[in-house]
Structure 1
Amino acid sequence: MAIGIALGNWQTRRAEEKIAVAAQSHERGMQAPIVLGGGGGKQQYDRVGSRAHPTYRRVQVTGEFVQSWPVFLDNRPHAGRAGFYLAMPFKIAGSDEHVLVLRGWLPRDPREYGRLPEYATPAGTTTVEGIIVAGAGHVMQLGAAAPIKPGAIVQNLEVEDMARASGLRLAPYFVQQSGPPAPGDALVRDWPAPDTGVDKHRGYAVQWYALAAMAALFFVITGFRSGRKQVE
């Protein structure tokens, strides 16, 4: 009983912690954007990695996309359709540093599995707004991971692996690009809400509390039967 109650309380506290994190993330998303490597009156980071980068904080960065290094993240469905997330390095203006931008979702061609979707990329200097995220989300990996190279279709992508493959200096996070795509562009930026795992912890808590209740019921039943035997 004690173990079940203690573990149920622990899972309840974990759920409350995740709720607090979600509230903090929402608050960060409402703050003014951080400028990466740029000037102006907004808060800025002079160098990528020079300060802590809070997850789900809005950012603004000026530079240009490295168009020779697109990577497609497979098994990313949207609105019932199969598709990809397009990830592309973005060189920050005035430096040799880059940030990996999740540009949006693209549909898969249902007639030809390996065909890459068409998309538009701004040429020259442009400004990107988005939200800092720790990762691009993970899906089940079957078999060996595909090598990371320009135009590769991969299941999952880590910043460290992209940095090694491309030789680029990358910030240790992704920027999930926001805002509407260019006219005629197929990119969709209807990003799913982050899963905090609150329901999972609540479910575990219910299971542990149920186990404690079963232990209490077992104790009462066996004690009652033992008492009856002693009376007889």
Structure 2
Amino acid sequence: MRFALLNYRFWILTLAAVLACGLTFSLGQWQLRRAAQKEALQTAIEEQKGQLALDNGALLATKNVASLTHRPAVLQGTWRSAHTVYLDNRPMGGKSGFWVMTPLALAGGQQSILVQRGWVPRDFTDRSRLPEVATPAGVVTVKGRMAPPPSKLYEMGEMGSGRIRQNLDVSAFSAEIGAPLLAASLLQTDPASEGLLRDWPIATSGVDKHYGYAFQWFSLSALFLGLFVWFQLILPRRKKRLSQPS
């Protein structure tokens, strides 16, 4: 009876060890696959950055502007300053403030593009007070890189319609201002000017994080295997050998 109980316990522990090792090993492999995907994405980003800068003609001739993400661009047009929007709760350099968004009416076409012009700090004594941002009149040249529309933050209720907003939907904003906007934005990379900072974060794949997680999962898998081998195979045999009369 005791032998059967011990044998039953051994197979239960064996099954648990196999499941634990298999699960952690699979999670480690999944992290390696994620790392490979991120490396491919980073390679694609670097290839986009290395291409020639887009001008107005090349941008307007592209049907799928989303495919241009991360590509450099030098665009000409006039600011639609009356439609400047300040996106709230957008930090830069660890400080809270606004991203300043202004549509740029592209020269040589009927369309505009939303430009993420830069960052300004907010006035914490008067949260409705907007900082001064200079917006040149006439035709301007804006240097930057193509980007998706600004990321959306969680907000309660519907999007606002004032100058200060939490989020900005490009299609809805296009209808609001009565001007066609491209389904993309330009992240302006000119040196700090017009009261705006442009210390944008560098796009990285975060591949090191996945390799770190993979190492942790594989280490845990090896730990489970080592504990099973020691406590269920090696230690019982050592005890049995020591208990035998010499």
Contact 1:73 1:84 in 2 (8 A): yes
Where do 5+ consecutive residues of structure 1 fail to align?
A: 39-43
Pick which of 57-66 and 164-173 moved more: 164-173
Match of 1:112, SS state, is: coil
C-alpha displacement at 1:19, in angstroms?
2.8
- Is the contact between residue 42 and residue 204 of structure 2 (CA under 8 Å) also seen in structure 1? no
| 1:130, distance to aligned residue in structure 2 (A) | 0.8
- Look up the SS of the partner of 2:78 in the other structure: strand
Matched, 1:20 2:43: no
- In the alignment, the residues of structure 2 paired with residue 177 and residue 88 of structure 1 have an alpha-carbon distance, to the nearest angstrom, of 11
What's the counterpart of residue 157 of structure 2?
144
The residue that corresponds to 2:93 in the other structure is: 79
What percent of counterpart residues are identical? 34
Amino acid aligned to 2:188: Q
TM-score by length of 2: 0.76
- The structural deviation recorded for 1:176 is 0.2
**Structure 1 partner of 2:219:** 210
TM-score (norm 1): 0.80
Amino acid at match of 2:23: I
Structure 1 contact 103–177 (Cα < 8 Å) conserved: yes
Q: Deviations over 1:48-81 (max 9, x none)?
A: 5356632210012221121121111222222343
Report how many aligned residue pairs link the two structures: 221
Which segments of 5 or more consecutive residues in structure 2 lack a partner in the other structure?
Answer: 1-20
8 Å contact kept, 2:60–2:109: no
Asked whether the equivalents of residues 48 and 171 of structure 1 are also in contact (C-alpha less than 8 Å), the reply is no
Are residues 1:93 and 2:107 paired?
yes
Please state how far the C-alpha of 1:144 moved relative to its aligned partner. Answer: 2.8
Pick from 131, 151, 161 the counterpart of residue 145 of structure 2. 131
What is residue 41 of structure 1 aligned with on the other side?
Answer: none
1:177 aligned residue: 188
The answer on whether the counterparts of 2:113 and 2:184 sit within 8 Å (CA) in structure 1 is: yes
Superposed, which structure 2 residues align to 1:32-43 within 5 Å? 32-36=52-56, 38=57
> Contact 2:95/2:121 (CA < 8 Å) preserved in 1?
yes
Residue identity opposite 1:34 in structure 2: L
- CA shift for structure 1 position 162: 2.8
State the distance in 1 between where 2:177 and 2:206 align. Answer: 33
Distance 1:220 1:142, change over 3 A: farther
Partner SS, residue 82 of structure 2: coil
Q: What's 2:203 paired with?
A: 194
Aligned to 1:104: 118
